[in-house]
Structure 1
């Protein structure tokens, strides 16, 4: 499925108090990403307590994500971005990785998002596990960086400024999730990666030899009110992305879920919780999978291995 057909867009609306839909600092979330509700005259929204309501479309307007005087190192105010990964849905299609690589100009084995085959023992069921930067609230990588190249923004996103990075790799040693990659040679990214002026919130454009790269949660997509590349490209809705303060996440098909309810009902967890890093990526256990899900993924896994064996 083409990425353009998968691309999702979240819309943020401003609703008047006269509709009784906003309480103090509460906000409304779009429950439909592509449509405008059940008719052209109304828009279907989800309130912060999880109820679906309809309001006149004339009273709604798109709200730009990009704030005035936006600072890439500070991020979006009053936001806390999180991701949910549903392990039960992953079939190792690798469309997430392909889209991430393409749109961040990543080549070879330096993929920021990797999908691993997981199996605790020969008698337990295997499953596929996407792994990316966890964008921790207490990131060890930030603490050890001697030049402030790795930094955490107000919206929870952890980024790398490769114009400051000196390649010491302290951050790679400190990261308990092993999700960072090092550019040992000059990245073959082509002219497109060098067209625009460099900004640390569009990591990988361009990448530099002797610096560290990793998943950046796609702030350049968030600024346009859109989902990260991996979320919109996944054909199986493995990923959902959103704002913890709004208590909502949206998948690539445009379905919006109440975050707290989803994590509670599906036994959501975070990786290596005992370390105290407080990741912003939550995983739903691989239960209730289709019988052929692993076999389909194995075909993709074997094909990927054969292509990259000699890279």
Structure 2
């Protein structure tokens, strides 16, 4: 399986083509052609995890092949991983889902302090502008006597999604692994799905993204490159899931708020702790947001009891109640 690896070196984006975590012969031949024009840097003789290699200690180095054919040792501290530019399956393949998976998310409200790292990571990965985030951290208060708390809200990947039913062109679809995606190549921007979603989880692409139009093959699994005049939303990062990696919002949270996993295996993890899904929901009274609507969300919440942090509003300038 081929993987396109995007890295940034001294401000320039370079592309590596990997097959089973090693450069393939065909990839090398393609690189040699491009090297003659000085257009690309290639890693040589490496067997490394493409998403973690650039996060090693600053003292470690990576071997790269320069445009003039010389091997150089580059400190990993000078290589910036371009994880947010990884792209998933093409549109037809993206509609099938990942076999043997039924993805589920659990959000522990007792751990959330509105650090907003999940929002920042999601914005970077999906090339979003701050005015249309996929994740919103809401200030909530159950009644006049109770204390407020923070609630991260995103698309709930409903098993009975009203957005899918109203789309006139089949742009919004439900996959076998439980994820609801949008194909921007089909979307006509009618916004029927936005009106049908009871959670206001969708955004409209009014303008160009911060990094402009990316020169990448389009995939509904990343919504990259985005298309003006179409609808977008949280997608559970299927491009990461295909690599057996967690969504960016999960790994970026400093407090372990978000758990993610496969419902068929009855297991979820926040990257540090792995627990049984059924036990977690039972012991901590897990619930689904507005589940009385019959949408059957695939995102669960754990009540904000025995909170780790006091409620503070210093980070709440972009949140809503």
Deviation at 1:231, TM superposition (A): 0.2
User: 2:310 is matched with which residue: 287, 293, 301?
Assistant: 293
Structure 1 Cα separation of the partners of residues 196 and 304 of structure 2: 28
1:256 correspondence with 2:299: no
Q: Could you tell me which of 217, 227, 235 is aligned with 1:216?
A: 235
TM-score where L is the length of structure 2: 0.69
Out of 122, 125, 130, the residue aligned to residue 103 of structure 1 is 125
Distance 1:257 1:231 in 2: 15
Aligned-partner Cα distance in 2 for 1:85–1:162: 28
Scaled by the length of structure 1, the TM-score of the pair is 0.71
Q: Which of structure 1's runs of 4+ aligned residues deviate more than 3 A?
A: none
How many Å separate the matches in 2 of 1:195 and 1:223? 22
Matching residue of 2:178? 156
Counterpart among 254, 279, 282 of residue 300 in structure 2: 282
Contact 1:237 1:251 in 2 (8 A): yes
Distance 2:268 2:228 in 1: 35
Structure 1 counterpart SS, 2:314: helix
Partner residue of 2:94 out of 61, 72, 79 = 72
Do the aligned residues in 2 keep the contact of 1:81 with 1:280 (CA within 8 Å)? Answer: yes
Name whichever structure is richer in strand by fraction.
2
The aligned length equals: 232
Larger radius of gyration: 2
Matched residues in 2 for 1:183 and 1:271: separation? 26
- Which position in structure 2 is the counterpart of 1:242? 261
Partner of 2:211: 190
Unaligned runs of 5+ in 2: 1-51, 53-87
Q: Is the 8 A contact 1:145 1:171 kept in 2?
A: yes
C-alpha deviation, 1:148, in angstroms: 0.3
Structure 2 residue 128 is matched with structure 1 residue 89: no
Unaligned regions of 5+ residues in structure 1, if any?
Answer: 1-33, 35-65
Kindly provide the CA deviation profile for residues 162-216 of structure 1, in whole angstroms up to 9, marking residues without a partner as x: 11000111001111111101112x223325x61320011112x122111101000
Which is bigger in relative contact order (C-alpha 8 A, separation at least 6)? 1
